[in-house]
Structure 1
Amino acid sequence: MHLILSSYESVVNGLTVDLEDWYHICGVEDYSDPLQWGSYENRIIKNTDKILDLFRSYNIKATFFVLGYIALKEPDLIKTIKDEGHEIATHGFYHRRVFEMTEREFEEDVGKSVSTISSITGSRVFGFRAPEWSIRKETPWALKILRKLGILYDSSMVPLTRMGSRDFPRYPCKFDTDYGEIWEFPLTTVRLFWERLPFTGGLPLRMFPYFYILSKIQRINWEGYPAIVYIHPWEFDMEQPHIDLPFSRKFMHYFNIKATPKKVEGLLRHLRFAPVSEVIRLHA
C-alpha cells in the first residue's frame, strides 16, 4: 500500500538529519574504524546547533537519525534535540553499511543503538536509516530484523540501479514481515532518461540549482506524494578537517557544501515539513 495524498495543499514532506560527525565516512580506511574515532576533533555539537537554530527560526520539527555512537558520546545533545520537539530515530551504532554485515551483526548494531538512544530519551525508537541508504536486494532480511527490534518505519531504500534497485518503491509504502508491517520511506528521486536520480539531499542538493530542486518537489507534491529531504551537520561546517579521499568520494563529500544552509532554508520557507513519523501519521 502506497502513501498518497488527496491534494497538493495537504502534502507534508519529511525533513531529516543524519546525525553523524565529519569523519563518519563509509568504506574509508582508518576513518571507518571506530577505534580511531576518539582521536578526531569533535565538531558535532556546534554544527548541530546551527541546524537547530535554523529549524527554530521556522518553527519546524524534523527526524534526527542518530548514530548510537554519537548518542553514547553526547547524551546531552540528544536530550536537547528531543526537548525541542524533534523525533529521535536511529542511524545504526557504528555507521556500517547493511550489506557489509551479517544478519546477526546488523541486529546487534541496530539493537545497541536503539537501546542506547532509548536509555537517554526515555522513549521508544520508531525509525531507522542505514548509512549510505545501504539496504540492497541482497539483504531482504533487513526489514524483518528492524521490525523485530520494534522499528515501525525505515528510510534506507533507493530506487536506483547501482545504489539500490529499480524494483524498490519510489514513494512511501508498507512491507509485510514476519514481525508485522513496516513502512518504507525511500529516497526521493526524479526520472532522467532511463534512470532515476536523487536530488533532495547530500551532493545532489548541493549541485542542482535551487529552482530545479523546489520545482521537482512541488511536482511530486502535486502528484499527491511527500518527498524526503536529508542533511548532515558537517554540511554546515565550512572549516571542517578534510580527509584524503579518492577523487570521486572527495567530490561527493565536499563539493559546494557552502550552498547547503541557504538551499535548506529556502525549502523550509517554501514547503511544508514534519518528522517522518508525523508524515506517516498524517497521511497513512
Structure 2
Amino acid sequence: MINGLTVDLEDWYHICGVEGYSDPQNWDTYENRIIRNTDKVLALLRTYKVRATFFVLGYIAFKEPDLIRTIKSEGHEIATHGFYHKRIFEMTEREFEEDVHKSISVISSNINEDVLGFRAPEWSIRKETPWMLKILRKLGILYDSSMVPLTRMGSRDFPLYPCKFTTDYGVIWEFPLTTTRLFWEHLPFTGGLPLRIFPYFYIVSKIQRINREGYPVIVYIHPWEFDVEQPHIDLPVSRRFMHYFNIKATCKKVEGLLQHFQFSTVKDVLGIRT
C-alpha cells in the first residue's frame, strides 16, 4: 500500500487566529527560517528516496520562488495551502476564491504546471462551508485534503477515507485526515501534535491496520517541526502545547515511518492523471 506524505510549507509564525502573527502586514518583520527548515525535510526525503506533496503557502511562493523550484526539481508535487494562511470559516466565498486564485497564480508561475491540490489552513473546512469544494473545482483543483471527521474540528459526517464529491464544475477528490476510532470520535494520529505525542508503536500499528483494510493513510508534517531552536510565540496554554510539545521527536518518528511504509504524492496515491 502506498500512503500519502505531505508537507504544509509554512514558517514558524504562520499561526491562525493569533493577534499580530496572523496579520500578513507583520510577516516581513519576522525571521525567515523556512529555507533552512525545508532543507532538513528535503534531505530526509532524499535519503529515503521518497516523493511528497508540498502544500505551499502562496506567500512563501511569492517570497521564495527559488525554494519552490528546488522542491519541484527534486520530484515533489507542489499543491496550495492558500495564500495568507486564513481559515476558511473566517472568509466569505469571494474572499476564499480570491485567496486561492492568488496562490495558484503565484505557484503555477514558479513551476510552469497546473496546481491540482489544496489543503485548508488548520483543516478549517466545516459543515457550514460546503461551497469550498465547488470553488476549488472551479479554479481547476482536482483534489482537496482538508476534511477531518471529528466534532468541532470538522464534522463526524465527513468521510474517513479518500472519496469523490460532485460539484457544479465537475468531480473533486477528497483525501481526509487519517483518524482512528476512539469511542464515538475519530482522532487524528498521523501528523502534528498527535504524531508527536502518541507512542511510535501505536502509530505504526494503526497505519498497518488501515492499510490491511485496503485504505491509504495521509501523513503531514511542517518544516518548523524540525526546528527546536525556533522563536517561541506567547500563545494561550492549549495552543502553546499543541504547537511546541515534543517537536524534538518529529524527525525521528517521521524517519521511522519512511523506513516502515511506502509513501508518495497525493496525486499518485489517488491515481490522478492530467
Asked whether the two chains share a fold, i.e. TM above 0.5, the reply is yes
| 1:251-274 Cα distance to aligned partner (Å, 9 max, x none) | 000000000000000000000100
Q: Determine the structure 2 residue equivalent to 1:226.
A: 216
Q: Determine the structure 2 residue equivalent to 1:159.
A: 149
| 1:219-245 Cα distance to aligned partner (Å, 9 max, x none) | 000000000000000000010000000
Q: Secondary structure at the match of 1:137?
A: coil
Partner letter of residue 114 of structure 2? R
- Is residue 49 of structure 2 the alignment partner of residue 59 of structure 1? yes
Q: Determine the structure 1 residue equivalent to 2:135.
A: 145
Identify the match of residue 196 of structure 1 among 186, 194, 198. 186
- Is residue 269 of structure 2 the alignment partner of residue 258 of structure 1? no
- Is residue 97 of structure 2 the alignment partner of residue 107 of structure 1? yes
Query: Which stretches of structure 1, 4 residues or longer, exceed 2 Å deviation after superposition?
Result: none
Identify the match of residue 70 of structure 1 among 57, 60, 75. 60
Q: Determine the structure 1 residue equivalent to 2:121.
A: 131
Unmatched segments (≥5 aa) in structure 1: 1-10
Identify the match of residue 179 of structure 1 among 158, 164, 169. 169
Partner letter of residue 38 of structure 1? D
Q: Secondary structure at the match of 2:115?
A: coil
Q: Secondary structure at the match of 2:206?
A: helix
State the shift of 1:282 in Å.
7.7
- Is residue 28 of structure 2 the alignment partner of residue 38 of structure 1? yes
State the shift of 1:194 in Å.
1.3
Supply the RMSD in Å over aligned alpha carbons: 0.9
The 2-side partners of 1:209 and 1:253 are apart by: 18
Identify the match of residue 214 of structure 1 among 204, 207, 213. 204
The 1-side partners of 2:129 and 2:183 are apart by: 28
The 1-side partners of 2:210 and 2:262 are apart by: 13
Identify the match of residue 266 of structure 2 among 250, 253, 276. 276
The 2-side partners of 1:155 and 1:256 are apart by: 25
Q: Determine the structure 2 residue equivalent to 1:8.
A: none
Q: How many residues align?
A: 273
Q: Secondary structure at the match of 1:26?
A: coil
Q: Secondary structure at the match of 2:6?
A: strand
Instruction: Go from structure 1 to structure 2 and tell me whether the alpha carbon gap of 1:147 and 1:282 turns closer, same or farther (over 3 Å shift).
Output: closer
* TM-score after normalising by structure 2: 0.99
* TM-score after normalising by structure 1: 0.95
Partner letter of residue 33 of structure 1? D
The 1-side partners of 2:130 and 2:185 are apart by: 23
Q: Determine the structure 2 residue equivalent to 1:242.
A: 232
The 2-side partners of 1:50 and 1:257 are apart by: 14
| 1:141-190 Cα distance to aligned partner (Å, 9 max, x none) | 00000000000000000000110000000000000000000000000000
Q: Secondary structure at the match of 2:29?
A: coil
| 1:21-49 Cα distance to aligned partner (Å, 9 max, x none) | 00000000000000000000000000000
Q: Secondary structure at the match of 1:212?
A: helix
- Is residue 41 of structure 2 the alignment partner of residue 14 of structure 1? no
Unmatched segments (≥5 aa) in structure 2: none
Identity %: 80
